[in-house]
Structure 1
Amino acid sequence: MKAIAVVGNPKAGSRTRDAAERLAAALGLDCEVIEITSLGAALLSWGDPDITAAVQQVQSADIVIAASPTYKGTYTGLLKLFLDQFPTATGLAGQVALPLMLGAGPAHALAPELTLKPVLVELGATCPAQGFYQLDSTYRTDDSLARWAAQWGPIVLDAARTGADR
């Protein structure tokens, strides 16, 4: 099974990337990473070959981890610019997507579920698990990843296997 993490943090090598890679590892997946910030100003135009290649790379995955820090209660504009490159309803069709967000406090714990998951579904992805929110100050040391993976991991992997069999 192929997994890819799409990281919408403006800073390369961020905690957001680390959290996405940790999530993939907790699910037993090898994971490629696209740091959207590396795509630069090309995100502001249509038809750029590097953006097209990145979109195709994401579309070739069975599982897509859409990862973002929380800004103003939602995902980053950087991630939005990249997701805008996908066709509505079909851009992520047949893929399992996992919304993952890091934030400074528990006030935005529903942000992955309320802001990021609907966009992924609008693009055609299946989101069989609860959106995953972690505190950026404790995500490496708390048990939130283990608890999430125990509850949702089998469901996510089963959904991805089912989608891959089509």
Structure 2
Amino acid sequence: MTHPLPLRVIAVSGGLQQPSKAAVLAEYLSDLIAAEVPCEQHLVELGQLAPHFAGAVRRAQLPGPVEAALSAVEQADVLVVATPVYRGSYTGLFKHFFDFIDQDALVDTPVLLAATGGSDRHALMIDHQLRPLFSFFQARTLPLGVYATDRDFAGQSLHNVELIQRAKLAVERALPVLQLSRHAGIRPAGKVAVA
């Protein structure tokens, strides 16, 4: 009897700071998924990769670590993306990274959207900026996004009960899509299982 493959959950943080609240949020959401569905988790921190690709204009110019991160995203069964809000949108580095992604690589890939910002006034960025970006890729953006402000963190962990409940609800709402893909043994076209 064959068992469904574990889902490859790739979390991408657009945070430029070290440590990054976006990375903390992305990992937290990835861990919530892992608590419900067998998966392999990997975090891509764009702030660490920035020196290697910020000036590149073609994918062929990119060094190995950046190419490996792009390939991981393209082969993901599930994406968790989190970015700080900068001037009302995702960071330029976040967009630059996704500009290198093959435009057909994320078709039907479930994407859990998240963002961090200094105040609540940027919360709609998830629906006004992130959702259209991943719609271009024909990805399957999951129903609920998760937006966190600075006050939702205590050091490098989430502490706001309402935010934690929102994160859990976002994953609960995503589970039917994730479990269906896993139990059906489905990998979107062009995505092969890595041995």
**What displacement does 1:82 show?**
0.4
Partner of 1:144: 162
Query: CA contact under 8 A between 2:114 and 2:126: conserved in structure 1?
Result: yes
**What displacement does 1:158 show?**
2.0
- Spell out the pairing of 1:1-166 with structure 2 (5 A cutoff): 1-27=7-33, 28=35, 31-39=41-49, 40-43=51-54, 44-46=56-58, 47=60, 48-50=62-64, 51-88=66-103, 90-139=104-153, 140-164=158-182, 165-166=185-186
Q: Distance in 1 between matches of 2:179 and 2:94?
A: 26
TM-score (norm 1): 0.88
Query: CA contact under 8 A between 1:86 and 1:123: conserved in structure 2?
Result: no
Moved more, 4-13 or 40-49: 40-49
TM-score (norm 2): 0.76
Aligned with 2:174: secondary structure? helix
Query: CA contact under 8 A between 2:85 and 2:125: conserved in structure 1?
Result: yes
Query: CA contact under 8 A between 2:146 and 2:167: conserved in structure 1?
Result: no
**What displacement does 1:16 show?**
1.2
Deviation >6 Å, runs of 4+:
none
**What displacement does 1:30 show?**
5.5
Aligned with 1:137: secondary structure? helix
Partner of 2:190: none
Report percent identity of matched pairs.
25
Q: Distance in 1 between matches of 2:85 and 2:69?
A: 23
**What displacement does 1:136 show?**
2.0
**What displacement does 1:91 show?**
2.5
Larger radius of gyration: 2
